Amino acid sequence: QVQLVESGGGLVQAGGSLRLSCVASGIIFSRYGMSWYRQAPGKQREWVATMTLYGSTNYAGSVKGRFTISRDNAKNSVYLQMNVLSPEDTAVYYCNVGVTGLNYWGQGTQVTVSS
C-alpha cells in the first residue's frame, strides 16, 4: 500500500521561506520520480515541481528560481524548499507519485503566506 505523508506547512510572512517534506512508504522509493502539486482555494490543483529517479528536476514557471525540489532516497523522502514566498503561493501542497499508472497523493500540508 502506497502512502505519502507531507509535513512542514505553516503560516509565513511574504518574503519568507518554508521547507516541506514528504515521506513515502509502500514503494521502492529510488525507482520513482516524485512531484509536488498545490491547490489554492477555489482553484484547480496545479503541478509545482518534479524530480525524476535520476535526479533531474523541472519546475512550473511561477516557482522557478524560488523553489527547489530534492530527495533523499535513504529516507524515502522528497522535499520542497520554498523561498521568497508570496501570498500567491498560499495553497495546500501535495506530494505525488505515479505507480503502474495510478496516481497517489498525500493528505496535503497547508501553506499560508501573509502580506
CB neighbours of residue 73 within 10 Å: 13
Burial class (CB in 10 A: 0-12, 13-18, 19+), 19: middle
Which cell goes with 60? 512550473
pLDDT at 53: 95
Q: What is the pLDDT along the chain (115 residues), one digit of tens a residue?
A: 999 999 999 999 999 999 999 999 999 999 999 999 999 999 999 999 999 999 999 999 999 999 999 999 999 999 999 999 999 999 999 999 999 989 999 999 999 999 9
Q: How far apart are CA 109 and CA 36, in angstroms?
A: 11
Q: How far apart are CA 13 and CA 9, in angstroms?
A: 13
Cβ neighbours of residue 92 under 8 Å, at least 6 residues apart?
9, 38, 39, 108, 109, 110, 111
Burial class (CB in 10 A: 0-12, 13-18, 19+), 114: exposed
Calculate the alpha carbon distances from 22 to 8, 42, 65, 115 in Å: 9, 24, 21, 27
